[in-house]
Amino acid sequence: MTQNISPSTTEAADRPARPRLFYVDHLRVVLTVLVVLHHAAITYGNIPVWYLTEPAQDPSGVALDLFVLFNQTFFMGMFFLIAGYFVPGSIDRRGRRGFTRERLVRLGVPLLLFLVLLRPLAMIPAFAQVLAAEPDLPLWLLYLLTIDPGPMWFVEVLLVMSLVYVLVRGVRERRSQPAPVVARVRERGPVRWLVPVLVFAVGLALVTFAWRWAFPAPYWPVVGLPSPGYLPQYVAMFIVGALAYRGDWLHRLPDRAGVVGGIAAMVALPVTIMFVTAAPGTGASLVHLVAENLFSVGLVLALLVFFRRFLARDNHVWRFLGENAFAVYVLHAVVLVLVAMALGGWQAPAVVKFVGLAALSVPLTWALAAGVRAIPGVDRVL
């Protein structure tokens, strides 16, 4: 991708406010639903990385595992892409200090609230199991020994990335000379995308290959990052999002990019699945990562174009879902655990239990989120 934009730091101040991208809001809602479904699938699949799991006793659990692996390749990276897109404009409006204060409130406070209030509720099944084996272990010590941000790792990492962006931007602005004349951004044609996207996908695969070979741990317990192997993707997507704002890439991306991206994703998916068990540092692992990144980048392009073309209008339903999406992200772990506990003992295929848990938890979480945000002052942080 390319951008033809003046480096002037004062240009944004003279630029007219951009219209709200409703399709991006809608896409964020769908990604939030995928987060809830992702953890519901882990609950009844064969990947024991959630607060409450009932390992599958039938083959349908494999389908849930594939769904989790499919999600993992793209959905959190797309969250970082969207988050990165809105960072430069927010700093333009608030300034670096104002933006930092806003991020500390909007991200730091929910993270602390989750750790102090919500995580103990989500940990009830795990606490009960450990205390049954070690009844003399103090509950506070158990909490401290097992503490991590859970699904709020995204908020934690996003906060760090945002603060790093502020520092980098501050250094760049101090080193640059203000332009005597501010040039307005002219209308530009479609962005050149095919070769840059291919280079990005393959380059990201190579970086990820080296990263996973150097840091093969599947989980970072101190940070609580459940997928450190995807950290290069998260950082790259955040950076691309910030560049996309300056270059207006979301608007300039041609529709055919979505078509090509969708085709590339469909072609790369079976290769990704075929080599999913490849050991890090091997040739098979490199093949897997190239296919996986072509799949994830292609799917991101397809989703962006699809939502821009067909889901770009706002209405009361989408607005309600969008306003409460972040609160859903913060609250969904507790709802999933409590609903799964209520369904405990239900004898059914794993995929059926997944459907039941998801069908109950998604609307319940949105209702809870709306109720919590109705409390005076809560909507400032949620």
Residue 249 lies in a domain: yes
Instruction: Report the pLDDT value the prediction gives residue 244, as an integer from 0 to 100.
Output: 96
Residue 225: what are its φ and ψ, rounded to 5°? Answer: -80, 115
Residue 304 lies in a domain: no
Residue 303 lies in a domain: no
d(CA 121, CA 362): 18
Q: What is the pLDDT of residues 37-94, one digit of tens each?
A: 999 999 999 998 899 999 999 999 999 999 999 999 999 999 999 999 999 999 999 9
Residue 138 lies in a domain: yes
CA distances (Å), origin 25, targets 21, 74, 88, 118, 363: 7, 17, 17, 26, 18
Q: Is the pLDDT of residue 134 over 80?
A: no
Instruction: Report the pLDDT value the prediction gives residue 130, as an integer from 0 to 100.
Output: 76
Q: What is the pLDDT of residues 291-327, one digit of tens each?
A: 999 999 999 999 999 999 999 999 999 999 999 999 9
Residue 106 lies in a domain: yes
Instruction: Report the pLDDT value the prediction gives residue 288, as an integer from 0 to 100.
Output: 95
Instruction: Report the pLDDT value the prediction gives residue 219, as an integer from 0 to 100.
Output: 77
Mean pLDDT of 238-242: 97
d(CA 189, CA 380): 38
Mean pLDDT of 335-340: 97
Q: Is the pLDDT of residue 9 over 60?
A: no
Residue 278 lies in a domain: no
Q: What is the pLDDT of residues 200-218, one digit of tens each?
A: 999 999 999 999 998 887 7
d(CA 206, CA 208): 5
- Exposure of 143 by Cβ count < 10 A (0-12 exposed, 13-18 middle, 19+ buried)? middle
Name 81's Cβ contacts closer than 8 Å, sequence gap at least 6. 237, 238, 240, 241, 244, 300
Percent with pLDDT over 90 in the chain: 74
Band the pLDDT of 222: cuts 50, 70, 90. Answer: low
Residue 270 lies in a domain: no
Instruction: Report the pLDDT value the prediction gives residue 137, as an integer from 0 to 100.
Output: 77
Mean pLDDT over the full length of the chain: 89
- Do 368 and 329 form a contact (C-beta atoms < 8 A)? no
Q: What is the pLDDT of residues 172-192, one digit of tens each?
A: 888 875 544 333 444 568 889
225 compared with 42, residue with greater pLDDT: 42
Q: Burial code of 13-45, b = ≥16 C-beta within 10 A, e = fewer?
A: eeeeeeeebbbbbbbbbebbbbbbbbbbbbbbb
d(CA 224, CA 175): 36
In the chain, the number of structural domains is 1
Residue 80 lies in a domain: yes
In 3D space, the residue among 78, 86, 81 whose CA is nearest the CA of residue 18 turns out to be: 86
Q: What is the pLDDT of residues 244-283, one digit of tens each?
A: 999 999 999 999 999 999 999 999 999 998 998 888 889 9
For 374, the domain range is 18-177+188-259+312-380
